[in-house]
């Protein structure tokens, strides 16, 4: 039975989420690569003065990668707890989850290239 809305419980849920993000950053080396790529794209986007629509696509792309990485990390933690010793099915599940991160990262790079390449070319052409 629901206890109703609790502001303090909502605040606590944000704390859990922030703790999870911090844990992902501490435990996953690829999360640091995603962080550097995210910052780079945001800086380059600011430099080029992107349109709101372009920003929207980049934010969606960044969010997709971070979401995939977070879900992959959660699955790895659960799999390791459920089967501390190697199990072929757990290995397959981890591989598929890592593949999801790769899919989202590849798509995000494609989006970034579609959006940023015309700006880079314009800058190069204006320098001549």
Domain spanning 7-127, CATH class? mainly alpha
Domain boundaries, the chain: 7-127
Instruction: Please tell me the predicted confidence (pLDDT) of residue 6.
Output: 85
The token pair that represents 35 in the structure block: 């962080």
User: Looking at the whole model, is its pTM more than 0.95?
Assistant: no
- pLDDT digits 0-9 by tens, 8-52: 888 999 999 999 999 999 999 999 999 999 999 999 999 999 999
DSSP-assigned states of every residue in 39-79: HHHHHHHHHHT--HHHHHHHHHHHHHHHHHHHHHHHHHHHH
């Amino acid at each position: 039975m629901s206890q109703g809305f609790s502001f303090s419980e909502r605040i606590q849920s944000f704390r859990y989420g922030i703790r999870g993000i911090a844990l992902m950053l501490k435990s996953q080396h690829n999360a640091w690569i995603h962080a550097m790529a995210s910052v780079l794209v945001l800086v380059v986007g600011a430099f080029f003065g992107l349109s709101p629509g372009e920003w929207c696509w980049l934010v969606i792309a960044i969010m997709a990668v971070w979401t995939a990485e977070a879900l992959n990390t959660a699955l790895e933690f659960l799999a390791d707890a459920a089967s501390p010793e190697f199990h072929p099915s757990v290995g397959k599940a981890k591989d598929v989850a890592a593949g999801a991160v790769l899919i989202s990262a590849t798509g995000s790079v494609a989006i970034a290239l579609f959006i940023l390449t015309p700006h880079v070319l314009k800058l190069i052409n204006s320098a001549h």
